[in-house]
Structure 1
Amino acid sequence: MRIVKGSEPTVVRRDGRRVLVARARAVLNALEHLVGGLGTALLASAGVLWVVLVGLLSAVGVGLPLTATLPRVVRSVAERERGRLTRWGPEIIALGPAPAGARGLLTDPIMRRELRWLFVHGTLGLFIGMFGVTLAVQAVQDVTYPLWWRLLPREEAAPTFVFWTVEDDHGARLVALFGFVVAAAFVVTGPGLAWLQAWPGRRLLVPPADIDLSLRIAHLSSTRAAALDAHATELRRIERSLHDGAQNRLVAVTILIGAARRALERDPSATGSALDRAQDAAEQALAELRTVVRSILPPVLDDRGLAGALAGLADDCAVPCRTDVDVPGRCAASVEATAYFVTAEALTNITKHSRASRADVVVRREGDRLLLRIEDDGVGGADAREGSGIAGIRGRIEAHDGRLELTSPPGGPTTLRVELPCGL
């Protein structure tokens, strides 16, 4: 009974920590969504100004040549928002180039919906993004205000939203208290603001059912082709490994056995060394065969699960690597194998090219998606077009109809985000 009673507070504390972590993650995601939405809202606002300017110039007869640019401007901004919304929720398939000519802006039903979204997001979305980001920045500024307020000139000793004059530490502590109130307001309203900012795009940028179906068929056809290409590439890799490795070793075994047989007839004392060499070659062939088999579907996934397999990769990595895997249950074997190989390739790239001092591997499962993030503090500049291995990683992911996002500015850090469907 004491064990049961003693375990109850532990369970409560663990559940409490999970709730706090989940809430903190939701707030950080909301802030990230608002910042990203603010970026596309600024683009949409610029697009609104361009549409209005071209309309006014066309009214006086000098802007007609510029009307041909309107569909491309509207479509390009809408595609940026589709990509942003796809990263944070259900996929919105890109529509490709805009119709040619200004008439398509008014006659094409999709372009009309995009034009409506442009005006809504360029005004309401811009206001929501600015308000939410300002609220978060103001909370941080006010909470930390007692630490730095004395460094300000006397006439600037009060933050933006504070209506009283700060003249001593007591006033600065009141500002910090006000900052906690602002932070609590953002914690409560931030996720709702992010949802409200994204709602027009979710409603207006989704293509109609018939067009959406044709786009999805084309998308599935391309991913099927990617899966076939990835399968063919994998078969070629396995065939090359067998041909260049195990097959050559087995040929050497047969030659050495033949030499031993001939030595047995001429010089029996030399037979032992020939058989020893044949045994060594056979053992090397077996080792290479095991390596090829493990590269097809690593047995460590069955033995230790995804968390244990990734921990093993991190332990073997030359760069200090931390793993954080929170995946309840098991995913499909092919999905776990893809996550394993993607991580192995990414850690190999980090070791060879990044000059990093640390790396992090974070894996989460959200609904029917497996989310994988690999980050390092290296020099950055990773590019799939320069043979960094990213192209091979992308092929594995697209074969599962997954998504890959690489962020690697010069100077670092490099972040690889992978999303794989793993079923309910």
Structure 2
Amino acid sequence: MPTHDASPGNGRADGRPAGAPKPPRPWDVFARARTALDAFEHIVGGMGTAILALIMLLWLIFTAAACLFGVGLFLVPGTLRALRTVTERERERLSRWGPEIVGPAPGPTRLRQAVADPATRREVGWVAWHAVLGTALGLVGLTLPLTSATDAAFPLWWQLVPASAATPSIGLWTVHDWPGAFAVSLLGIGWFAVILGVAPGMAWLQAWPGRRLLSPPPGTDLVTRVAELTATRAAALDAHAIELRRIERALHDGTQNRMVAVNVLIGASRRAVSRSPADADALLERAQDAAEQALAELRAVVRSILPPVLADRSLSDALSGLASSCPVPCRIDADVDGRYAASVEATAYFVVAETLTNIAKHSRARHATVTVRHRDGLLRLRITDDGRGGADEHGGSGLAGIRKRVEALDGTLTLASPPGGPTTLEAELPCGL
């Protein structure tokens, strides 16, 4: 019985010669059609911004010509704002179809600054490119589908027009019979195949100037990140200095004064022993009370640095202790597993403690809620109260210090406190778990 050799040198088991391409599958054609449809959607959107770029280019030329006579200097600020508006429109369009393009900082408003600004020069270059290339590609992109549809439907309408108008889209010959009409229809199908092949490339080419000229220069993200880290490091050092000053004041104004009083009372009691033992006993009792008060204040200062309950038990237990000592009724809803870095737990404790203190002092709230969750490597804190609202970070309520402590850990803080309440403070702390 004969056998077929399906080796690469003699053909394939399905009968196709070796190296022959696979026949197109129906779903491949549909995928290409969908890709082409998306590409034409991009091209049509680019046609809109290309028209804006063309108008902007003409206005830039007019403003530049007017500057030669001095009149255009009054037009420069408005022209630069219009330029930024048009380019931001293109950035938004490109960001919807691909990686996000982040715009630069607010641009200059004077001619000399604009000439020296690299971002503005790149935007002007994009306007020139997109006004020409984007408009041309947009016109071609709108013409090709109409051409394909017109030629494909040629047998349906060629007899309804004058004989001189019965020509295909390229207009090379005049159709006089049905075979010629169906030949034009095949040409329309060919145009459709061309559309499937060139539409994605046209969309890419139309978007290329925008992605090339409107994107931030290389290294911008790194520079921004370095600036953020520099700011958070400064905030961390500032928060550390503030905390040291707070501890120093607590020790100097409280514990130190108590110890001085204890020393004075003990000295007085020593002098009174020989004269009046009863007075000496009273002085020693007062000295003991002062020493106990100093010890209590010293414990409070130590707990404010790093509460022992955080090390001995858990963050949930520490927050429950804060809630129990808060003058405003407070509910703790903590759903966290495991332990976190000591700096993270200490910052979370500080945020909750300071916020509950502010609620008790300023909010006139009747109830507060603290919610703690761990999601996506972040420890999320949400503190709400039903008070009068109107909390302001610049009002000296300690919110600025809370923000510095949170940002020192590369976290984020969000405050919503409309007049009349409620007030919601949300903090997110990276915890790496």
Class of the TM-score when normalised by the shorter of the 2 chains: 0.5 to 0.7
Q: How far apart in 2 are the matches of 1:328 and 1:312?
A: 18
Letter in 1 for 2:357: T
| Normalised TM-score (structure 2) | 0.56
Q: Aligned to 1:404, what secondary structure does the other structure show?
A: strand
Change (3 A) 1:205 1:105: closer
- Contact 1:70–1:105 under 8 Å retained in 2: no
Residue 316 of structure 1, CA deviation:
2.2
Partner of 2:122: 108
Q: Give the gaps of 5 or more residues in structure 2.
A: 1-48, 64-71, 93-100, 131-212
Residue 314 of structure 1, CA deviation:
1.9
Partner of 1:69: 81
Q: How far apart in 2 are the matches of 1:50 and 1:388?
A: 52
1:81-108 CA distance string (max 9 Å, x none): xxxxxxxxxxx99964335549866643
- Contact 1:407–1:415 under 8 Å retained in 2: yes
1:247-273 CA distance string (max 9 Å, x none): 111111111110111001222232111
Q: Aligned to 1:236, what secondary structure does the other structure show?
A: helix
Residue 49 of structure 1, CA deviation:
13
Partner of 2:363: 354
Percent identity (aligned) = 60
The RMSD of aligned alpha carbons is: 3.7
State how 1:199-214 maps to structure 2 within 5 Å: 210-214=219-223
Q: How far apart in 1 are the matches of 2:215 and 2:428?
A: 21
Q: Does 1:58 align with 2:70?
A: no
Residue 111 of structure 1, CA deviation:
11
Partner of 2:243: 234
Partner of 1:397: 406
State how 1:255-404 maps to structure 2 within 5 Å: 255-404=264-413
- Contact 1:75–1:111 under 8 Å retained in 2: no
- Contact 1:71–1:101 under 8 Å retained in 2: no
Residue 323 of structure 1, CA deviation:
1.7
Letter in 2 for 1:393: I
Q: How far apart in 2 are the matches of 1:50 and 1:380?
A: 48
Letter in 1 for 2:292: E
| Normalised TM-score (structure 1) | 0.57
Q: How far apart in 2 are the matches of 1:359 and 1:323?
A: 9
Q: Which moved more, 1:408-417 or 1:285-294?
A: 408-417
Q: How far apart in 1 are the matches of 2:384 and 2:334?
A: 14
Residue 301 of structure 1, CA deviation:
1.3
Residue 315 of structure 1, CA deviation:
2.3
Partner of 1:414: 423
Change (3 A) 1:233 1:67: same
Structure with the largest fraction of helix:
1
Change (3 A) 1:228 1:375: same
Change (3 A) 1:269 1:283: same
Residue 74 of structure 1, CA deviation:
7.2
1:323-343 CA distance string (max 9 Å, x none): 211222111111111111111
Letter in 2 for 1:414: T
Residue 208 of structure 1, CA deviation:
5.6
Change (3 A) 1:232 1:399: same
Change (3 A) 1:106 1:250: closer
Residue 68 of structure 1, CA deviation:
0.8
Aligned residues: 277
Change (3 A) 1:59 1:274: closer
Letter in 2 for 1:68: L
Q: How far apart in 2 are the matches of 1:235 and 1:365?
A: 30
